[in-house]
A and B are shown apart, each in its own frame.
Chain A
Amino acid sequence: MMKESSSMVKTYLTVFATLALLTGLTVGVAYLHLERTSAVMIAIFIAGLKASLITLFFMHFKFEKGIIHWTLYTALFLVLVLIFLVLPDIGVHH
């Protein structure tokens, strides 16, 4: 039990370090002064990676199964619905 808990602490610390690294990367990319679309795409990609790590480890998604997984998949599907149906409307007004 103790061994398992110390291995989890190690995992959490590794995830935390990775998140800090990715945050640094986001800041670093901003200094490259990339073209707007590329900059946004890279920032969203890194943010998505960070959100996945948090969900998987800090929110225990990796250790869950069944209905918890389906709940997240449904929410992700609705996020996609929201994005793909909102973008054309927001886009047309820009």
Chain B
Amino acid sequence: MDQGHHKETFISKWVFSLDHKIIGLQYMFTSLSFLLSGFSLMLLMRWQLAFPGQPIPFLGRFLPESMAPGGVMLPEFYNQLGAMHGTIMIFLGIVPLGVGFFGNYFLPLQIGARDMAFPRLNMMSYWIYLLGGLVMLSSFMMPGGAAQSGWTSYAPLSVTAPAGQTVWILAMVLIITSSLFGAINFIVTTLNLRVEGLTWSRLPIFVWAQFVTAILLLFAFPVLEAGAVLQLLDRIAGTSFYLPAGLVVDGAPLERTGGGSPLLWQHLFWFLAHPEVYVLILPAMGIVAEIIANGTRKPLFGYKEIVGAMCFLGVMSFLVWAHHMFLSGMKTSLSYFFMTTTMIISIPSVAILTCLVLSLKGGSIRFTTPMLFAIAFLPMFGIGGLTGLPLGFTPTDVYLHDTYYVIGHFHYVVVTGTIIALFGGIYYWFPKMFGRSMNSFWSKVHFWLTILLMNGIFFPMFIQGLAGVQRRLYDPTAQLHNVAVQPTNVFMSYCAWGLLLAQIPFIVNFFYSMFKGKKTAENPWEATTLEWACPSPPLPHKNFEKTPTVHRGPYEYSVPGHKTDFYPQNAA
């Protein structure tokens, strides 16, 4: 699709664009805005956790009586904040950033394509995503507020919840539809639009990661979409897919036929949501692999092993979902099965991490900002992964499940793991997107503050979890055994509010550098993959001056006898 010769209007160029780069940027700005809004919800929750029952300073005055009378947060509002924080961060923030932005912008460039295989589908994917996000946010205005049954929306609580839950379901259907459009596009683009010479064994790890992620999305999301429609029917059409017989709500028997199974929802939800964890982490691993190869100036250790592990991870991710449900009282034989598969899936994760760590060995490391983020990802993701093991064993999970330990584990994987890697990716590819570089000093200030404060928030969660503090508590001091660790809540809250301030250098640096940053060359990091062979920013609608041909693997750094320490894939 060549529109290079068309005179484009502002609307066709920047709003309803078919160019994968513009759509990628739309995804980036939108998902970063959602990340900030989801993060802000958590900042309100942290006030309640640190100082339960006290009026929220300043902001409390602006919250309506239905949410926080006299500035004191109501339990229902706390539940809404929790459910929406999880939903927004995962489905509207991290996945669209890791897949929608990074995949859209850089996958076609890394395979030498002029655009995605289906540009119109791509544009539709973004607009449906935006619509889904706006519908999700609008649920706060519903009578009874937004969804308040957790980001997992477990039945029957979610079926009998106020109208905000219906909006949650509708928004999820839109978001899932958008993801499916994107997944199909990524798969077809990778299969069909690779340039001459770019064989499977020469694909950058980032492309492999996006490819496997797209397959996971394609197979996992329809299950939740179908499950969500069933929940919608339970809520508005009087069906009982998830409602058991004889259910009593608010002291009165629920007038429904019943006979449904609340556990069916949990199974359908986690059948998506466990592969979703790998949807969150694989693009991050792909980004880290690109940065580490470039920053160490040597080929990645175990390229084939990383690719194999990613594919194996993808397959296994469909066979572990019920480890989130050990407490449901499932059959012992079934819990043994899921315990075993969970232990097996940890092997490829550890293999990838080990390959990335070993890639550092013997490298002449350039401690650039992206490299700092990539290096930080390794131990942080390691902590996240290893703390997951006790949750995979039923004997330990019975104690730890539904405590803050789970929250700590998950956030180490997704925040100090994925978000740190995504930040690294933004710093790494910023010069390609805008032809300018970000300020190095403020980037490093952002890095150090962010990494320290993130650990300040999430590490105490392990301590709280081991002390038996349950998750989703509106008032942690209501239970006597929690009081001993209540000071950690205060510390965590200060770290969380500090983390917001720590993003100011990033935001200012980003926008300032977009327009006033130092201009950079086409390939400022002296990298080898194809995206660095096109102008910065790449040409509208065609990317490359001349379609490149690939002659070698993606990470030919420090090749003996070559005049520079990098040998681009397209160099003859």
Contact = CB atoms under 8 A, between A and B. Distances in A.
A32 interface: no
Interface of B: 191, 218-219, 222-223, 261, 263-264, 267, 271, 318-319, 322, 325, 328-331, 333-334, 337
Given A92-B331, A93-B329, A85 B337 contact: yes
Contacts, number: 42
Given A81-B318, A94-B261, A89 B330 contact: yes
A90 B328 CA distance: 10
B23 to A, nearest CB: 24
A94 B262 CA distance: 11
Contacts of A81: 318-319
B334 A93 contact: no
Nearest to A79: B223
A93 B261 contact: yes
A88 B337 CA distance: 12
Contacts of A67: 191
Given A67-B191, A78-B219, A92 B330 contact: yes
A27 B337 CA distance: 40
A75 B219 contact: yes
A90 B261 CA distance: 7
B331 A82 contact: no
A94 to B, nearest CB: 7
Contact of A89 (B218, B271, B319, B328): B328
Nearest to A92: B331
Interface of A: 67, 71, 74-75, 78, 81-82, 85-86, 88-90, 92-94
Nearest to B218: A71
Across chains A and B, which 5 residue pairs bring their CB atoms closest together, nearest first? A89-B330, A86-B267, A90-B261, A92-B331, A88-B331
A92 B334 CA distance: 11
A85 B261 contact: no
Among A74, A78, A89, A94, the one with the most B-chain Cβ atoms within 10 Å of its Cβ is A89
Interface SS of chain B: helix, strand, loop or mixed?
Answer: helix
Contact of B264 (A71, A88, A90, A92): A90
Contact of B267 (A71, A89, A92): A89
A74 B216 CA distance: 11
Contacts of B337: 85
Contacts of A78: 219, 318
B276 to A, nearest CB: 15
Given A78-B318, A81-B319, A86 B331 contact: no
A33 B337 CA distance: 39
Contacts of A94: 261
Contacts of A90: 261, 263-264, 267
Contacts of A74: 219
Contacts of B333: 88
Contact of B322 (A75, A85, A93): A85
A70 to B, nearest CB: 11
A45 B329 CA distance: 31
Nearest to B222: A75
B430 to A, nearest CB: 36
A85 B223 contact: no
B329 to A, nearest CB: 7
B272 to A, nearest CB: 11
B496 to A, nearest CB: 37
A81 B337 CA distance: 12
5 contacts: A75-B219, A85-B334, A89-B328, A89-B330, A89-B334
Given A88-B334, A89-B331, A94-B261, A82 B322 contact: no
Contacts of B191: 67
A71 B331 CA distance: 31
Contacts of B322: 85, 89
Given A89-B322, A89-B334, A82 B261 contact: no
B469 to A, nearest CB: 29
B296 to A, nearest CB: 36
Contacts of A85: 267, 322, 334, 337
Nearest to B337: A85
A74 B187 CA distance: 15
A81 B219 CA distance: 12
Nearest to B325: A89
Contacts of B264: 86, 90
